[in-house]
Amino acid sequence: MTALESKLADPGLKSAAAQALIGEHPTIAKLRTLVERVATTDATVLITGESGSGKEIIARAVHDLSRRRDRAFVPVNCAAIPHELLESEMFGHERGAFTGAAAPRHGLFSSADGGTIFLDEIGEMPLQLQAKLLRVLEDGVVRPVGSDRSAKVDARVIAASNADLLAAVKKGSFREDLFYRLQVIPIIIPPLRERRSDIPLLVEHFLDKMRLRLPGRDWVVTREAMVHLWSYDWPGNVRELENMVERLIILCEDSVIDAASLPANLVTGTRMVQTRIPTSLGEDGVNLNALVRELEGRMINEALKQTGGNKQAAARLLGLKRTTFSAKLRRCGVIAPSGNGREEL
């Protein structure tokens, strides 16, 4: 085994948590401990994290570290299965329970007996099914659709959501009792932009994975490129970063990944999610004042960027008098003097 292979190999089960949560950020270090500790229990876990943050990888790590590791890990994406099928998928059905149910069928809960069922996008589960899931969690029995008999099932439940489920509770689209029953142990994965300090480490990890896949090749990321990778907001989180590293390597002609190799949106610093400025009214109408402010802010920002923070020149670029420009600057939310000048706006 090469040094690289042993660096990436799985020397023991403990490393499942380490693979799922790479980073040195204090919160990530604590999360690794939490994954290892919660795996020794049978507690229901609710994982919250944006898309691409690795919810399923963490659920698998909990399973792999638990006493259930030799039994099934059954992932269910509640958003991907049509609502009307979800109940029979989860709990199974009897023959003739509904049109097309020609033979009885086991549900995913039964498949996960002795193991772990991972309910992803739990917030998408219809309310009526939420009530049934609550009963399963409380009594440990499932009843197939069309059956009058319940069967005991021993499946550890790990649920996940990419949105704040508590908000759904307040809105009434998610049952409060189920929320608290699921959230015995909450695992909250912070988005990558909240722990940027781990980005260089993750980039190096993904490069190592590629070095293993493409032996004999190697790459370096320049300091400048790393600053851009660090500063980007990564809405698709760790998964997006991994895809980006792969893409950069595939497109890379020599072995140097520099700022010029990066896609434009990553370099230009378009990091704020901008309000879309519509060109038609639509049914709901628009807030014209807000749109005008948005456009003004954007143009002023651009002008300041182009002129390196020189307000006189920026005002000229926008065809405004200096005083008008300053007033707009204040209104659109520039709140600290720019550049070297220390003048108050």
Partner 1 sequence: MEQTDSVPRIMVVDDDPDTVSILARHLQREGFAAIEAISGAECLRIAQERPVDIILLDLMMPDMDGFAVCRALKENPRTAEIPVIMITARDDLDARAEGIRLGVSDFLAKPVFRRQLASRIRAQLDMLAANRATEAALDKISSHTRNGEKK
| Interface mask toward partner 1 for 221-260; x: CB under 8 A | --xx-xx--xx-----------------------------
Which residue's CB is nearer to partner 1, number 106 or number 230? 230
What part of residues 70-99 is at the interface with partner 1 (CB under 8 A)? Answer: none
Q: Which residue has the tokens 């090469």?
A: 2
167, two tokens: 């908000």
81, two tokens: 């299965």
- Please list the residues that pair with 74 across neighbouring strands: 117
Query: Which of these segments, 4-12, 26-34, 241-249, 278-286, binds partner 1 (CB under 8 A)?
Result: 26-34
Non-local (6+) Cβ contacts of 199 within 8 A are 192, 226, 229, 230, 234, 241
Query: Which of these segments, 60-68, 75-83, 144-152, 299-307, binds partner 1 (CB under 8 A)?
Result: 299-307
Q: Does 106 bind partner 1 (CB under 8 A)?
A: no
What part of residues 279-298 is at the interface with partner 1 (CB under 8 A)? Answer: 297
DSSP 191-255: PGGG-GGGHHHHHHHHHHHHHHHSTT---EE-HHHHHHHHHS--TTHHHHHHHHHHHHHHH-SSS
On whether the CB atoms of residues 25 and 196 are closer than 8 A, the answer is: no
Query: b or e along 262-275 (b: 16 or more beta carbons within 10 Å of the residue's beta carbon)?
Result: beeebbeeeeeeee
Out of 13, 43, 212, 317, point to the residue binding partner 1 (CB under 8 A): 43
| Interface mask toward partner 1 for 309-328; x: CB under 8 A | x-------------------
- The nearest distance, CB 82 to partner 1, in angstroms, is 33
- The nearest distance, CB 50 to partner 1, in angstroms, is 11
The residues that touch partner 1, with contacts defined as CB under 8 A, are 26-27, 30-31, 33-34, 37-38, 40-43, 184-191, 193-197, 200, 223-224, 226-227, 230-231, 269, 272, 297, 301, 304-305, 308-309, 329, 332-340, 342, 344-345
